[in-house]
Amino acid sequence: METDADDEVYEPLPSPCGGNCMKRLKLGKTGPELPVLALGCMRMAPLASQEAQELLQVCMETGIHMFDHADIYGGGSSERVFARACAELKLPREQLFLQSKCGIRKGFFDFSKEHILSSVDGILERLDTEYLDALLLHRPDVLMEPEEVAEAFDALKASGKVRHFGVSNMHPGQIELLQDALSMPLVANQLQLSIAHAPMIDFGLNVNLQRDAGLNRDGGLLEYCRRKQICIQPWSTLQKGFFGGVFLGDPDYAALNAVLDRIALEQGLSPAAVALGWLLRIPGSVQPILGSMNPQRVREMAKAPEVELSRKEWYELYLAAGRELP
């Protein structure tokens, strides 16, 4: 395999189910091959030890061994609960891909070198690990100094504390500004995206039209990330708005649920799996982050890679969410 001289090559993570449980994707230009689904741990803090163990067991059984954290989730408690569950289950560290985020502080955002470095030390302590597989900057900081962030990233990489780096909720201009100062390519951009919340798709379908759907709210993120080989990690994958609740079973989304239910019945899967399959059908590198802490729901959603949507069905779901094509 030929690579650039400065590129690092990482072998796919060993899978507890032999690597055959779930489809994989490559994380950015330099990351390893990972499951196409990851578990988001934002809501893990309230779980009892046994509940967290059951959840992680289901994840490992179904091939989901990437876990997304942030230092603000549960005030850090989500990371501690996760670490205890891993220890009690004796999960091998080399079988896990641990990703966390930093940069959000009470009342402001902070991408200073000092804060990034101290945040990672806290994350590593709470997760009880010597390194993070990936660190993402959480929300854009208008006061960001790219060279300062680069110094922090270089120090973290040189020390072995972080292997890969990415961002969250950034538009192309912000990513370019940061990338110009970095010595390593950014591998991921975590963004809100679901059938019910897809402004980056709406914009691409309503070019040069005087309608709300044609407003460029993100700078062309969908195409940009695909061109730059940056993995899009959708969050709130079943949400109808900014933490406004799920659209599954919502009477306001009756038409969408009818189509989801029909396709789910035809394919012997859950409506949630079909909704995630809609995201996976988007070309490029798309890795949905699951937000459920219910082991049975996670088991059902883990079948999303089995969903097969024709182009007609994909658009049918898109339109059923209350949109129209030009």
pLDDT digits (tens, 9 = 90+) for 311-322: 999 999 999 999
Distance separating alpha carbons of residues 107 and 323, to the nearest angstrom: 35
The CA-atom distances, in angstroms, between 110 and each of 13, 134, 216, 224, 315 are 32, 18, 26, 25, 40
Domain span including residue 273? 25-320
Q: Domain for residue 12, yes or no?
A: no
Q: With contact defined as beta carbons under 8 Å apart, do 100 and 79 qualify?
A: yes
Q: Domain for residue 13, yes or no?
A: no
Q: Domain for residue 8, yes or no?
A: no
Q: Domain for residue 283, yes or no?
A: yes
pLDDT digits (tens, 9 = 90+) for 61-97: 999 999 999 999 999 999 999 999 999 999 999 999 9
Number of domains within the chain: 1
Distance separating alpha carbons of residues 120 and 130, to the nearest angstrom: 10
Q: Which residue has the tokens 């578990």?
A: 39
Look up the CATH number of the domain holding residue 262. 3.20.20.100
pLDDT digits (tens, 9 = 90+) for 110-127: 999 999 999 999 999 999
Q: Domain for residue 93, yes or no?
A: yes
How much is the average pLDDT of 250-256? 97
Q: Which is the catalytic residue, given 73, 224, 253, 318?
A: 73
Q: Domain for residue 16, yes or no?
A: no
How much is the average pLDDT of 177-185? 97
pLDDT digits (tens, 9 = 90+) for 17-56: 544 468 999 999 999 999 999 999 999 999 999 999 999 9
Angle (CA) 75 78 84, round 5°? 130
pTM of the model: 0.92
- Tell me which DSSP letter residue 274 carries: H
Of 14, 9, 290, 287, which Cα lies nearest the Cα of 166?
287
Task: Confirm whether 73 is a catalytic residue.
Answer: yes
Q: Domain for residue 325, yes or no?
A: no
Q: Domain for residue 117, yes or no?
A: yes
Who wins on pLDDT, 309 or 10? Answer: 309
